[in-house]
Structure 1
Amino acid sequence: MYVWTGRTAGDRPELVRRLLRRAGGALLGRSEVEIGVRRAPGGRPEVYVGDGRTLPVSVSHTDDLVVVAARAGGPVGVDVERRRSLPAARLADRWYDPAEAAWLRARAEAGRDLDFLRLWTAKEAVGKAFGTGLRDGGLRRRMPVPDGPGDLLRPVPDTAGGLLRPVPGCPGVRVGHPATGDGLVLAVAVLGAAGVVDVVLA
């Protein structure tokens, strides 16, 4: 999975198109001028070339920052938020799975904002990888604990404790938080990745 970021002084749609063309050029092996960008049914962005090939992509933005994720091997999701102060425990009680809300309340108060945003961005990234966003209970979909040891991309559990399998033959859903700095919280998600997935911040 590759992740591109860019900053804009005002024309966000143009920056999104440029980053999507850059992703398409890099992963489809074509010149950026040969890359098309359109909206797929349901509104998600789609990158394509004239021979009919498409590239799974995802877009997120906050303030002047735009983030694009792409992966030739299957669906991808990305979400970015600025770290900020918020009533984390109260919001988690309202929106998150009860186990997540309890985990968050047990965390040190000084880090709850960050922990809340890690869960939020993970839910958004997974929803975008599914192509549904946060509809259909996406906020209640449990995410792996974001700070434990292990691989960057971790399996997303289902309510029975197994792996969530969104489509037949899909080996699972994984989500993680690459380090970005700059007071940002970034989450990336992949569907159907059987092996190791490297996350490259391009």
Structure 2
Amino acid sequence: MSQSAVPGRDTVYVFLGRTDGDRPAAARRLLRRAGGTLLGRAEAEIRVGRDAAGRPLVDAGDAVELPVSVSHTGGVVVVAARRGGGVGVDVERRRELPALALARRWYAPQEAAWLRGRPPGHRVEAFLLLWTAKEAVGKALGRGLRDGGLRRPMPVPGGPGELLRPVPGTGGLRVGHPRLPAGGGPAGDGPVPAGGLVLAGDLVLALAVDGPADGVELVID
């Protein structure tokens, strides 16, 4: 399926793909696809590298660098990209973990209290929603979870309002959790090619953007 950015729109693209045992190669492939889509160039012209801090870089051999972010978990790699400003993405697999104990150790008191108030069967999901949001916001800020990033307050996941919600104390930064398809079908947030990633329903994904964006396009590779 061909994909191209719409001129004049600041759309955030999120690409999901399998690693097939070679995570770096899968990430480079999705980064080139992101570069081709948003920079309007052939994927063979897209250069992929890293800056001095280890963050991914994408360009087409000119002065225009594409803001991108990469995350991976258990056989899956995710790339987020946009033309209009900073972006961060994080993905985790749903799995059993001691959500309340981890929240008491790492999260702000009000977030740990919110998590404790969730029904027992929803606490792991709630923990991962907060965790991925914090990771994505840290990447959009360019400093990860350094300087107390795990205690940086996040907007409550799943509440009423827009998909991307303002992050307290960060200016124009917003974060949310695009709805992923349970089995590779349309997710409702953008085009999903046929034969997509069947494992998407096992994932929790957070997306952070610096400033307003026109929408989110989700592409299962």
Correspondence for 1:51: 62
How many Å apart are 1:192 and its aligned residue?
2.6
Give the Cα separation in 1 of the matches to 2:120 and 2:202: 18
Q: In the alignment, residue 176 of structure 2 is paired with which amino acid?
A: G
Q: In the alignment, residue 16 of structure 2 is paired with which amino acid?
A: T
| 1:93 maps onto 2:104 in alignment | yes
Structure 1 segments of 4+ aligned residues over 3 angstroms from their partners: none
What is the percentage of aligned positions where both structures have the same residue? 67
5+ residue gaps, structure 1, are 159-163, 166-171
What TM-score do the two structures reach when normalised by structure 2?
A: 0.84
Q: In the alignment, residue 132 of structure 1 is paired with which amino acid?
A: R
Give the Cα separation in 2 of the matches to 1:178 and 1:41: 30
Secondary structure of the corresponding residue to residue 54 of structure 1: coil
| 1:179 maps onto 2:179 in alignment | yes
Secondary structure of the corresponding residue to residue 153 of structure 2: coil
Give the Cα separation in 1 of the matches to 2:64 and 2:70: 19
Give the Cα separation in 2 of the matches to 1:147 and 1:138: 21
5+ residue gaps, structure 2, are 1-11, 183-200
Correspondence for 1:134: 145
| 1:199 maps onto 2:216 in alignment | yes
Find 1:26's aligned residue among 37, 61, 79. Answer: 37
CA offsets 1:52-94 (integer angstroms, 9 cap, x no match): 1110000000011000000100110000000111111111010
Instruction: Give the number of aligned pairs.
Output: 189
Q: In the alignment, residue 23 of structure 2 is paired with which amino acid?
A: R
| 1:188 maps onto 2:207 in alignment | yes
| 1:42 maps onto 2:53 in alignment | yes
What TM-score do the two structures reach when normalised by structure 1?
A: 0.91
Correspondence for 2:136: 125
